[in-house]
Amino acid sequence: MRYLVFALLFCSLSAAALAAVPPPEEKDRCAVCGMFVAPFPQWTAALELKDGRRFYFDGPKDLFIGLFDLPTYFPGVSAEQVTGVYVTEYYGASLKPAAEVIFVTGSDVLGPMGQELVPVIGREPAETFRRDHAGKALMRFDGRQLIEIKEQP
Amino acid sequence: MRHVKILEYALASLLRRPGKTAAILVVYTLMIAVLATVLLLTHALKTEAVNLLADGPELVVQRTMAGRHELVPVEAARTVAAIPGVGSVTPRVWGYYYDSLTEANYTLQGVDAADSSLELLDGRLPQADGECAIGAGVAAVRRVGLNDDLILIDANNIGAIFTITGVFRAESRLLTEDLLVMPTESLRRFFGMPAYLATDLAVSVRNPNEINTVANKVKRLLPDSRPISRKELLRTYHAVFDWRGGMLLALFASALLAFCIMAWDKATGLSAGERREIGILKAVGWDTADVLLLKAWEGLAVSLLAFLLGFALAFGLVFWWGAPLLGGVLRGWSVLFPELRPTPYIDLYQIATLAFLTIVPYVASTVIPAWRAAVTDPDEVMRQ
């Protein structure tokens, strides 16, 4: 129940903040690998904190590396302070809350940092993407971790 | 300090033979100007093409039948739009019109009022039937302007009257020079094109990584279609301009060769006077190295001056006067030549290539014979 409330809160928060994510500036670097973010607009991911700070990443992979290891990459930031997690949806090439998309792993579409978790919105497009680009598993993000979506019988 | 003194002497000795120096300078300058014009113009045209296509659709879907371009059913737009990753699909109506009055080909394009990509306009876009907007080139050859009437012969061989509501003033006139736009429905009537057909489909793909996949799917879903991506179009433009530039350069290769022969002739046949001069210089205590330095400075002075003048001339020709001589050959439009005003730029790589191809052989061909004269005994040289 607590998780459900958390997830609901998370969704509403991210929906409210959706319009407010500006594209990265030229000098912004990936908070995990240090690469410039602006040259890869179709891969940009972003993390928003309660105090208004915003971090960019050059792909969902680096976003999750940072998010799952907050003490290393963002010392002093706790999971509760994260108010928004955004990834760039593959087909639409626009930023979407990470909880709304399905991540496809192991595909032949490579991001700036190689193999990527490719965010696709909707189950059917995700399956299409997996078929088109030799993807392996589908995953979703529940606000804390990535969970594999089991094949429906 | 030694270099400055030798340079001073070199310049003085060039000025002592003004006729010869001027002759070489003129030929040298002209050759550099011609070569640089071709290089600059080819590059400028390629850049223009890139700028032009930057606003175009990521993918154009044509239909082919028996290997030739055919009209595409508007229905196909729905099939393409259903492919994931496709942003919007717009059936386009456009074609060519030969105007026998001016013996020029116009490009006729249908626009909808919502179309915003053509906004550099004096006046407004046509909205109603019987209205059109024209490019500056069409306006010039037909001698018409805003609010004038334009009569064209339609598919039924009947004259159609259009009121000109706007004249394009695009920054890059390559695009709109021979253009004539009118509402899509009017154009359909004008061409006699049925409502269920269009010339091609403009497809926007939001994620550049997905363009090839979308193109493959289009090909699979519509087997008689030919998807052309923006990248392929660009590659074709590059190839065409490179080819034309290469042809021109091949033609001017003979000029380059003639210049080399001249330089070689001038340089190898050191005149008796020059040989004596070298002999005297050696007799009064100059080293062989000093004589070589002198000749190198002479060659460099002539080369650099000619290079600067020639490149400046080419730069002016291409970027200010719109390349009046060679532009037509490189662009290859039929009658309505767009006036070319490319954005000036300087490419160090090009300059270096040109400099290496001209300055180095020239300097070498002046220094080597001087070296041969300089290593012989001064007494013997002066006696000759």
Beta bridge partners of B110: B182
| Touching B: A residues 108-127, CB under 8 Å | 109, 125
pLDDT at position A118 is 92
Query: pLDDT tens for residues B337-379?
Result: 555 566 777 788 888 888 888 888 788 877 877 787 777 777 7
Q: Are residues B98 and B182 in the same domain?
A: yes
pLDDT at position A45 is 92
Distance from CA of B88 to the nearest CA of A (A): 11
Of B209, B213, B217, the CB nearest to A42: B209
Q: Are residues B366 and B284 in the same domain?
A: yes
Give the three-class secondary structure for A73. Answer: helix
Q: Are residues B123 and B14 in the same domain?
A: no
Distance from CA of A62 to the nearest CA of B (A): 19
pLDDT at position B308 is 92
Cα–Cα distance measured from residue B207 to residue A41, given in angstroms and rounded to the nearest whole number: 9
Q: Are residues B95 and B38 in the same domain?
A: no
pLDDT at position B55 is 75
Q: Are residues B78 and B202 in the same domain?
A: yes
DSSP state of B352: H
DSSP state of A23: P
Q: Are residues B37 and B171 in the same domain?
A: no
pLDDT at position B61 is 92
3-state helix, strand, coil in chain A (%, to 5): 30, 25, 45
Q: Do B213 and A133 touch (CB under 8 A)?
A: yes
Contacts of B73 (CB under 8 A, 6+ apart): B63, B196, B197, B198
Measured between CA atoms, the residue of chain A closest to residue B82 is A125
H or E stretch covering B329: helix B327-331
pLDDT at position B116 is 52
| Phi (first) and psi of residue A66, to 5 degrees | -70, -45
Residue to substitute from B88, B203, B205, B209, interface A, most A β-carbons within 10 A: B209
Mean pLDDT for each 10-residue chunk of chain A (153 residues)?
Answer: 47 48 86 90 90 90 91 88 90 89 91 90 90 90 85 61
Of the candidates B250, B249, B209, the residue with the CA atom closest to the CA atom of residue B231? B209
CB-CB neighbours of B242 under 10 Å: 14
Residue that finishes a domain, picked among B228, B255, B273? B228
| Touching B: A residues 56-115, CB under 8 Å | 90-94, 109
| Phi (first) and psi of residue B164, to 5 degrees | -85, 115
Give the domain extent around B204: 59-228
pLDDT at position B170 is 60
Q: What's the number of domains chain B is made of?
A: 2
Residue that finishes a domain, picked among B207, B228, B249? B228
pLDDT at position B196 is 92
Q: Are residues B215 and B265 in the same domain?
A: no
Cα–Cα distance measured from residue B132 to residue B113, given in angstroms and rounded to the nearest whole number: 12
Residue that finishes a domain, picked among B202, B228, B254? B228
Q: Are residues B173 and B290 in the same domain?
A: no
pTM of the model: 0.70
Residue segments in chain B with a per-residue pLDDT below the cut of 50: 334-336
Contact (Cβ atoms closer than 8 angstroms) between residue A139 and residue A148: yes
Q: Are residues B77 and B223 in the same domain?
A: yes
Q: Are residues B308 and B190 in the same domain?
A: no
Distance from CA of A78 to the nearest CA of B (A): 34
Q: Are residues B132 and B8 in the same domain?
A: no
Cα–Cα distance measured from residue B237 to residue B46, given in angstroms and rounded to the nearest whole number: 7
Q: Is B225 exposed, middle or buried (0-12, 13-18, 19+ CB in 10 A)?
A: buried
pLDDT at position B337 is 52
Q: CA B354: distance to chain centroid?
A: 17
**Chain A residues lying within 8 Å of B208, measured CB to CB:** 42
Measured between CA atoms, the residue of chain B closest to residue A133 is B213
**Chain A residues lying within 8 Å of B209, measured CB to CB:** 42, 90, 109
Contact (Cβ atoms closer than 8 angstroms) between residue B228 and residue B69: no
pLDDT at position B323 is 66
**Chain B residues lying within 8 Å of A132, measured CB to CB:** 213, 217
